Amino acid sequence: METKKKHLSTIANDVVRQCAKNLDNTVDSFIEEFEREWKPEMGGYSRKLVEFCCSKALAVVCRTLDEKISDGSFSRFTFDMMLAWELPSSADEESYTECVAKEAEEKKISRVTSIHDDIPLFYSDLMPLLVDEEPSAGEDAFVWLGTLVPLVVDMVNGRFTFDTLTAPTGNRLHFPAYDKYLKEIHKCIKHLQKQDTPSGIEFVDDEFILHVEGTASSQRVVRHIGGTSWPGRLTLTNYALYFEASGVMSYEDSLKLDLSKDMEQNVKPVATEFPEMTSSTRRDHWLALVKEIILLHQFLSKFNVESPLEAWEMHARTILGILRLHAARELLRISPPEPKSFFIFALLDELPKGDFVLEKLAASLKEVTSGHPCSASSILRNLNAPPPCVPCLEQQKISDGNEIVQPENLASLESAINQTREIAKEVGMAKATAEGLKEEGISEKWVGLAISALLLWMVAKMLRARRNRIPEKYNKIVIRTGSDQTTMESIVSAQQGLKSIHETMQQTNIAILKIWSILVSKAPKHTNTVMTVMTCSAIVLLLIPFKFILMSFSLYGFVMTSKLGKYMQSEQGNRHKRMHICLHAQRLVLTEWLLLARAVI
C-alpha cells in the first residue's frame, strides 16, 4: 500500500491513487512524470498535479464510458475529481474544515432561536431533494471538469449551466444531484437511440435524432395546412426537421424542413401546433432546439469550417448540449430551465460580444483533437449514440490519449467567455433596474392609488365645507328667468332653438345645484351617503389592484351580455311583472269590496 502524500488533501490523495490504479501505474511514477513537465514558476503544485492525473485517467475511463455511467463509477470518480480540484492541498483542507465547523456552530445557534422558520412544505423540483451532508462542488470545479469531459458541461456555457442547475440548492452541486444528472443524460441517449427513422427518409452518416414528439408515448403535435389539421410525429435531428402525418396503420411519408441550408429566402410559413392547457412551454422548447441547430450551421458556414473532423466536433458538442437540456428538464420539471443556458450558439447569440467568443471558438477548433477519447465526438461514439460516421472513423488525427486534453491556447477562449459573462451581468443589472423603474410607473401601478387619493381629497373638502358652515352663508340662489318677449316675437327669434338651449341650461343648473348641495352638506342625508360610498371606494382601490377591478367589471359585462345574463334579466323582469299584476289585482279586489261595503251601508 502506497503512503499518502502529506502535501495533498485526503480527497486529492484518494483521487491520485485511483487515477494510478486505472492506468496500472504507481503514484510515485505519476508524480515523477508530472515533475518532469512542471516548472516552479507555474505555481499551484498540488492543483496542477491533480489536473495532470485526472486528465491521464479520464483518457482511459472515457473509452468504456457507457459501462462506467451505468454502474455509477464514472459519476463518483469525476465528482471526487471536482472535490480534489477545489481542495488539492492539505492546507486548503484544514481551512475548509475550520470554515465548516464554524458554519455548523452558527447554524446550530440559529436553529435554536428559529427552529420552525423557513420550512417549505413542498419542493417545486427534484433538485432540492438531492442534497446530502457530504462535501459539494462549486462552479469553478464544475467548469474545469467540463474542459476535460464535455459530457458533463461545455466550457463555453459551463457557468450558465451551473447557475441554472444549482439555483435551488444554493449554487452548490451535491453528489446525488450530479449522479442523477449524468444518469438522465445516459437515459436520454438510450431513449433517442430507440426512435424510428422518419418514413421515407434515409439519414446521412452523422445525422442524429435529438427530439421526438407526437408518438403514442408523448404529447400530440398538429400541423395545419390550409383549413385542415393533421396530427402526426415531429422529429428533430442535427440537420433537419421531419413531420409525419398519422395514417390508419402507420405514418405517411415525411415532410422535411432542411435546417442546414440558408433559410433567409424561405418565406413559406409552416404552422405546427403543440397543444397545451396552461402554457406554451413545449412550443418554446421546440423553437429553442430548432434555433440552436440553425445557428450551428450558420456558424460552420460563417467561419468556413470545412474539415469534417472539426465540423463533427461542433455537431457533437451541440448534441451533448441538447442532451444536457433534456436531463435538466427531468430534474427541474415544475420550473423548466431556460434552454439557452445549455446551448452554445443561442447563448452567444444573445450575449453582448458573443460574436467575439464565436471567433475564439472557431480558432480553438483547429487545436482540438477529435480522436481523443474525451472529445465530444468520441464521447458520443463511446456511448454508441450516433451511427458510425466517416469523420469519426478517420484515423489520421486519432490520438493515443496520453496528452492533456486542455491545451494552453484555450486560455484565450476562456478569457473571452469570462469577459462576456461579466458584461452580461452588468447588462442584466441595468435591465433589471430599468424594468423596476418601469414597473413602478404611474401608468401601471398608481392608477388605483391616484383615484383613491382623489376620492379622499373630495371627502375632506366636503367635511371642510360642512365645518365652515357654507350652507348657512349661501342660503339664497338667484335664478334668472327667460326674456319678457311675446310669443310672436319668440317664434320669430327661433323659439325652438332658444327653448332647447333654455332646457339644457335648466338641467345643467339643476345638476350643479344638486352637486353643490351634496358637497356643502345642504342635504346632509345624501352627503353622508356620498361620503360613505367614496370612502369605501377609496379603501377598495387601496387594497385591491386596479387591474383586478377592471377585470371584474369586464367579467360582469361579459356575463350580463351573454345568454345566461339575458335569461336572468328576463326572469327577473317577468317576476317583477307578475308581482305588479298581483298587486294590481289585489287593489281591484279591495276596491270592489269597499264599494260593496258602502252600498250595503
Consecutive H or E run containing 271? strand 271-273
In angstroms, rounded to a whole number, what is the distance separating the alpha carbons of residues 360 and 514?
79
Instruction: Please state, in angstroms and as integers, the Cα–Cα distance from residue 518 to each residue in 101, 463, 514, following that order.
Output: 73, 11, 6
Instruction: Give the pLDDT confidence of 9-37 residue by residue, as tens digits.
Output: 999 999 999 999 998 888 888 888 888 88
Phi-psi region of 561 (alpha: psi -120 to 50; beta: other; left: phi over 0): alpha
Assign 3-class secondary structure to 517-530.
HHHCCCCHHHHHHH
Residue 263 pLDDT? 59
Q: Point out the residues of the chain with pLDDT beneath 50.
A: 1, 110-124, 265, 267, 388, 390-393, 395-407, 442
Report residue 315 as a C-alpha cell.
Answer: 455537431
Percentages helix, strand, coil for the chain, rounded to the nearest 5?
65, 5, 30
Cell, residue 448: 388605483
pLDDT tens-digit readout, 50-77:
999 999 999 999 988 989 999 989 999 9
d(CA 530, CA 516) in angstroms, rounded, equals 12
pLDDT of residue 400: 46
What gap in Å lies between CA 477 and CA 516, rounded to an integer? 12
Q: Is 392 helix (H, G, I), strand (E, B) or coil?
A: helix
3-class secondary structure, 252: coil
Residues sharing a CB contact under 8 Å with residue 68, sequence separation 6 or more, in sequence order = 61, 74, 77
**Distance, CA of 214 to CA of 229 (rounded, Å):** 14
Q: Return d(Cα 52, Cα 37) in angstroms, integer.
A: 10
Note the pLDDT of residue 398: 45
Question: For the chain, what are the domain ranges?
Answer: 10-113+124-165, 166-422, 445-479+493-561, 562-601
Could you tell me which of 31, 8, 4 has the C-alpha nearest to residue 20? 31
For residue 275, what are the CA distances in angstroms to 214, 222, 280? 11, 8, 8
Q: Are 399 and 371 in contact (CB under 8 A)?
A: yes
Please give the pLDDT value at position 116: 40
Euclidean distance between the first and final Cα of the chain, in Å?
134
99 is written with which cell numbers?
470554515
3-state DSSP assignment of residue 595: helix
Coil vs helix vs strand at 270 = coil
Could you tell me whether strands 209-213 and 228-237 are parallel, antiparallel, or unpaired per DSSP bridges? antiparallel
Say what the pTM is: 0.70
